[in-house]
Amino acid sequence: MTTWLGERPADGMRLELAVSATVHRARSPHQSITVVETERFGRALLLDDVIQTTERDEHIYHEMLVHVPMLAHGAARRVLIVGGGDGGALREVLRHPVERATMVEIDAAVVAACRAHMPGLSAGAFDDPRTELHIADAVDHVARTAERYDVMIVDSTDPLPEGPGSVLFTEAFYRDCARLLSDGGILVAQHGMPFVDADTVRRAHARLASAFADATCYLVPVPTYCGGAMALGWGACDAAQRAVPEDVLETRYRAAGITTRYWTPEVHRAAFALPRRFP
């Protein structure tokens, strides 16, 4: 029997997906976790009843979240993923010749649910010997660790002031992240939907800009993220890293031996072309 799953991303807006079954429902100390079978998007993960990812379009988000900074850097060997408990970002990072991929995820129940009920998202990434998984508070991790990273990826929930991920969008957190980056390092962070909540995106960008010499964002359209293009925040020291020529990106892509469904050198460069007024 088909039911409709509804989400209200903003006043006057509603996203609904046709759901054929609830596969998993649980509550961790941090949030509610639900996996449903949808009729059009495959299985979907919801945290506190908000859609986080679906099997059909997750590759768009994860490829652009990961391959843009990885291929812009060109020689990343140590990567930190903050959040990302579904494993999609980890999967894409490990397609590159990295030495270590460290993931700091606060909720072990999210990792367990996705490994059990949406295994294609991680595709074995959690069992890769290069993976170092910490079930811990990422704010504490970046404040205390002595490790250095070439690329940092913040794959969090939305940057809402009252949301559970709000601690990952502070000036202090971004300053700690900047301190941990090696020379030429890049940080990318989920910044929300500009059309739906421009003020939230502006706040996230301002805080990112307080910690990085080169701060901007790039855009990625994900159908199940209601409101059009999502903004991914970009923090680096050198603006030239977001202007790597397409032929160089293609060479790096081929050398890495990866295959993408959405990312291309042309899409990579075009994603940084922002509208006259944004957000």
- Provide the pairing of β-strand 50-54 with 78-83: unpaired
* C-alpha torsion angle, residues 119, 167, 149, 231 (rounded to 10): 70
Distance from the Cα of residue 15 to its chain's centroid: 21
Of 137, 237, 153, 140, give the one whose Cα is nearest residue 191. Answer: 153
Residue 152, strand partner residues: 80, 187
**Catalytic (active site) residue 155:** yes
Instruction: Record the tokens describing residue 86, joined without a space.
Output: 């579904």
DSSP string covering 64-99: HHHHHHHHHHS---EEEEEE-TTSHHHHHHTTS--S
Torsion angles phi and psi, residue 223, rounded to 5: -55, -40
- Which residue is catalytic, options 107, 150, 155, 158? 155
Torsion angles phi and psi, residue 228, rounded to 5: 95, -140
Q: Which residues are catalytic?
A: 155
